[in-house]
Chains A and B, each alone.
Chain A
Amino acid sequence: QVQLVQSGAEVKKPGASVNVSCKASGYTFTKYPVHWLRQAPGQSLEWMGWINPATGNTKYSQTFQGRITISRDTSATTASMELTGLRSDDTALYFCARGGIPLWAYWGQGTLVTVSS
């Protein structure tokens, strides 16, 4: 069965970086994009970007351009999302989700990132 398992919760200070990983199993990793989304407290979900695991090509939301890097390790069937220059309003639950058709039928369990001094 398709599974996306994310790394654990993180607490970071303002200005730091965070790296969240997403281990995929149960399907051919290189056949489907991996998207990253987040939901801040009291806010709607927000799409951050995606990666094509086959090519490494990425597309990012303008909101995060310059601060986000999505990468993949095909041998480990893992996608990762790094966000730099963390601010308090980056405190959120971060998700990875499988792309393709249908979009986001499979999700990771979420990773809570807390930014606090």
Chain B
Amino acid sequence: DVQMTQSPSSLSASVGDRVTFKCQAGQDIKNNLNWYQRKPGKAPKLLVYGVSNLDTGVPTRFNGGRSGTDFTLTITSLQSEDTAVYFCVQYNSLPYTFGQGTRLEIK
């Protein structure tokens, strides 16, 4: 199974800040990585697919990137509604595997 190591596990930042989450894959997964947002009591919401493609309706303050087996999700100009858990998933090979998630708190 492909190991996905996500960091940090939690993050606290202020409205307007820029924050970055990272997922490191244990092997080459090409561009087969998505990022999701999870709020309490809700199903996950797709933010970014294929490393850097924003899903429909996702604000442009969300940006995905890749350097080798390191993947990032950056939120520029944090908003209060961005409080959530963010996680990555690789779908290059079965079984699909997940990062452990980053809990983002707005100060």
Interface residues of A (CB under 8 A from B): 44-47, 59, 61-63, 95, 97, 101-105, 107-110
Q: Pick from B43, B49, B53, B97: contact of A109, CB below 8 A.
A: B43
Q: Is the CB of A44 within 8 A of B87?
A: yes
**Whole-angstrom distance between the alpha carbons of A104 and B45 in the complex?**
8
Q: Pick from A61, A103, A107: contact of B95, CB below 8 A.
A: A61
Q: Is the CB of A47 within 8 A of B97?
A: yes
Q: Pick from B50, B55, B100: contact of A44, CB below 8 A.
A: B100
Tally the A-B contacts, defined by beta carbons under 8 Å: 48
State the Cβ distance, B68 to closest chain A Cβ, in Å. Answer: 22
Q: How many residues of B contact A (CB 8 A)?
A: 20
**Whole-angstrom distance between the alpha carbons of A27 and B30 in the complex?**
29
Q: Pick from B44, B50, B87, B99: contact of A107, CB below 8 A.
A: B44
List, in ascending order, chain B residues with CB within 8 A of A107's CB.
43-44
List, in ascending order, chain A residues with CB within 8 A of B87's CB.
44-45
Q: Is the CB of B46 within 8 A of A104?
A: yes
List, in ascending order, chain A residues with CB within 8 A of B43's CB.
95, 97, 107-110
**Whole-angstrom distance between the alpha carbons of A45 and B41 in the complex?**
14
B62 within 8 A of A: no
A-contact bits for B84-107, CB 8 A (1 contact / 0 none): 000101010011111111000000
